[in-house]
Structure 1
């Protein structure tokens, strides 16, 4: 269940408690040792701070971005044990009003951002301050990004040789054969073994609960008495965990494209719901292409567009484009269009050109990029470890096969690809945790803001409704009839108005608000 990161920059979801038995035979208290360990680590971080300076060359960040590290315990139950370092990036608040150069804007502290994943890095987030939609926030806040544990240079996790990560060309059967399923089961088992072999005893500690604890240590290291945080996609899940565990530490919190935090959904059922939602979003995309048939010539109905897509997939199965774009790469590239509709013109144009005999655009958009293999493999490893560690998964292949065979009859586009992404969790060697019941009562938590697009496929809208029910005092802003994943700071001025009012002034609608959808993308004629 994966989400590409920030809307304008640049991949789902869970938490748990550990039961620790105190010395002397006292009754076990869920998470007591970890809570103490977090407080101790945060106190140390507050004293140490972060020595911001020039960013390492590997970060590939411009000179105006500062970088540093913060130390956190690998295991919060043993805060004096092994420490790992998380990389952090920052651009200081400009304190310049973008609409009045003579007016100085008061600094409001640090705004920490997480783009989701699990497995996505937020190190590039501070660059967003130059985008017009973000300039007011960049004036008031230090923009702070970081790489969560396991990601990038933050105690990196790897489950396989990056050189073997991009297997291309690959197939993507809508209705896989039994032999294909057996092949994918074997690959999932091997991948899970690779994670265990690489991480060793550290493997169980890559989880959402520790991501929430790390966030509190980062808050303290930044010198912030209370946290101002914006999380997208999976970032909303451990943000909700943070709000549940540390409600008195929250200043302002934004949940953008919220995932469903119901413990019964984490993670297996959230992935089933995501596959179903992608089918609806794929239909939206096909209808848009059909509306612009004069431009693309792929069919004047969604059904005809589907046939054009199927024709391309069949041709690629026989003769991969450029020797490296098969049906799997085609499906992956069109899946990203389910996240962001500004990809629609590019994908439609590439498909149209390919079917007319020119594969160059399709190869460019869908082909694997070996130079990105290490980063992609790392993100995949962290994604897998966090989701597998977070909750119980079915361990019987018959359950996966039954549920997804049934779902694929009505939602074939993404269902089996989602299975293969998550199947290592059926054979995971580390202990499973029990999902935390995310919930706050009246007066426990300051008012928070939830942003959601009504037709979001990666984080279906029911998740935002569920989070709204669980966080007392939260306010939900919905972008109607739209499906972009990650809407804060995007093209919708109404959404951005609510975001700015909250983060800059602490001002929110009474309980819910709705925004009209942002304009549909304009078609681009084939070159």
Structure 2
């Protein structure tokens, strides 16, 4: 096994070679692609979806490198729910992306159209797709199928695991480079935006509509910058600021996740009669750290997932509360069960629901391929160690978890773009509708303001006090009706200034101890049943356990 110093040296050398040979962010994206160059065709067939029989699926050939449109091809998986309105009332295709980078959009056509009045839903062709290199697109990039297997090293640097994490992150970057050097430099946001235009051409549409959330807002705004005349309507929900570096964006996330964890602790403290975790937020947070400390010496069986729930898996189970506060009753139950009833089942069930890894490393290659190459990242561990310690001093809940999640960028073999991500000016775009919650932890509020400032034609709708990540489709009429009106006829909020409209937040969830189902008398291999009775929680693609933007 090579030493850590040797691994770092090898990865640094690979990065230098990549920089000299042009395998850097943007290397494939500088030249405009001639209309139709390297264009594949769509052949639709039934998706065999029994829930939504009208869904059609297809694969589309697109160039690996848009700078060489007649070169090697890969395939993009997409589906559509066709418009059913009379021809004269149809409004064209609407492409959908939930974020990531790399999350599948194939669930979105049926789900989102199902949230809308029939006259609006029937007017569009709803198009979902899997970004290049992910999910059902071909190839599906896997760098290390076991990277997220439990039990992983402790995230906290105070536990002496930094060398283990550096070796793990460097090894992941090396594995990606060893197998996917021909594709990884061409998996940026710009490449995905060009894929969207390939989809548009294959659909035969002069313009597309677009809805994107989270990283999908970066994808949509990039598409609008590259192809403004091809945009009809665009909605961006929970917005990545257009100018901030990915490294600095993570620091904003750390601070906002701390605020959301503090809010969870205050909520649980008010429900001490239910959870018995303490009557003030500080005591609840102490209970959280008490469980994490215990798991360092006595991890919990993760069944039906494999491995053990140690401190890293425990943290991953809880950070998702920053995305969706409807998880708070399950989170508080996990702490309460462990501490007051000596019952680890709620923790195991919560881990399996929110944090257990899939069969491989999922969209993590796509996440790194975009984020590590769209900005120049610090490459010096000593810088990270000192800088992240400053952040951890004010935001200890999430800082080191997030740091190690992004540590592969320290070793990524393709140099980040010193110029940063695509500059967004909004020139030539039609009116764009923006949605942003003030307490969003994954895409902090500053991003919504910055995107509005960058897009002169945009209207910004702010949910004051809202904390969901991706704020549409939670039953908030103020938000959802604004979205519906825009899709119906292009109507926009009338307000001027930076914020065109404000909406109230949803109420916090009712505290309830979520009792686990009875333990079966004999061991079986079926997945654990959901916590029951379940506090109301919308479980769909918008509430990913691992959002690429974390």
TM-score by length of 1: 0.85
What is the match of residue 224 of structure 2? 243
Structure 1 residue 486: deviation in Å? Answer: 0.3
What is the match of residue 227 of structure 1? 208
What is the match of residue 290 of structure 1? 269
What is the match of residue 126 of structure 2? 143
What is the match of residue 39 of structure 1? 35
Residues in 1 aligned to 2:94 and 2:111: alpha-carbon distance in whole angstroms: 12
Structure-2 change in CA distance of 1:173 and 1:80 (3 Å)? closer
What do the CA deviations read for 1:419-444 (whole angstroms, capped 9, x no partner)? 111111111112332324533356x2
Residues in 2 aligned to 1:430 and 1:516: alpha-carbon distance in whole angstroms: 44
What do the CA deviations read for 1:282-327 (whole angstroms, capped 9, x no partner)? 1111111112221111122111110111111122222112261121
Structure 1 residue 117: deviation in Å? Answer: 0.5
What is the match of residue 531 of structure 2? none
Residues in 2 aligned to 1:501 and 1:369: alpha-carbon distance in whole angstroms: 34
* 1:498 matches 2:482: yes
Secondary structure at 2:394's aligned position in 1? coil
Residues in 1 aligned to 2:491 and 2:147: alpha-carbon distance in whole angstroms: 46
CA contact (8 A) 2:116 2:484 kept: no
Residues in 2 aligned to 1:506 and 1:148: alpha-carbon distance in whole angstroms: 28
Secondary structure at 1:36's aligned position in 2? coil
Residues in 1 aligned to 2:88 and 2:468: alpha-carbon distance in whole angstroms: 31
What is the match of residue 78 of structure 2? 88
Secondary structure at 2:363's aligned position in 1? helix
Which stretch of structure 1 is more off in the superposition, 482-491 or 444-453?
A: 482-491
Superposition RMSD in Å: 2.6
* 1:114 matches 2:114: no
What is the match of residue 361 of structure 1? 346
Gaps of 5+ in 2: 1-18, 20-25, 303-307, 516-550
Which stretch of structure 1 is more off in the superposition, 327-336 or 121-130?
A: 121-130
Structure 1 or 2: more helix by fraction: 1
Residues in 2 aligned to 1:519 and 1:252: alpha-carbon distance in whole angstroms: 31
Structure-2 change in CA distance of 1:426 and 1:75 (3 Å)? same
* 1:165 matches 2:147: yes
What is the match of residue 523 of structure 1? 511
Residues in 2 aligned to 1:322 and 1:76: alpha-carbon distance in whole angstroms: 47
What do the CA deviations read for 1:24-49 (whole angstroms, capped 9, x no partner)? xxxxxx9897543263348x45xx3x
Aligned residues: 480
CA contact (8 A) 1:476 1:513 kept: yes
Structure 1 residue 467: deviation in Å? Answer: 0.5
What is the match of residue 374 of structure 1? 359
Residues in 2 aligned to 1:465 and 1:268: alpha-carbon distance in whole angstroms: 19
* 1:176 matches 2:161: no
Secondary structure at 2:32's aligned position in 1? helix
CA contact (8 A) 2:94 2:211 kept: yes
Residues in 2 aligned to 1:94 and 1:293: alpha-carbon distance in whole angstroms: 52
What is the match of residue 275 of structure 1? 254
Secondary structure at 1:145's aligned position in 2? strand
* 1:200 matches 2:181: yes
Residues in 1 aligned to 2:290 and 2:88: alpha-carbon distance in whole angstroms: 56
Structure 1 residue 367: deviation in Å? Answer: 3.9
Residues in 1 aligned to 2:137 and 2:425: alpha-carbon distance in whole angstroms: 31
Residues in 2 aligned to 1:148 and 1:135: alpha-carbon distance in whole angstroms: 28
TM-score by length of 2: 0.82
Structure-2 change in CA distance of 1:172 and 1:503 (3 Å)? farther
Residues in 2 aligned to 1:95 and 1:522: alpha-carbon distance in whole angstroms: 41
Residues in 2 aligned to 1:346 and 1:422: alpha-carbon distance in whole angstroms: 27
What is the match of residue 532 of structure 2? none
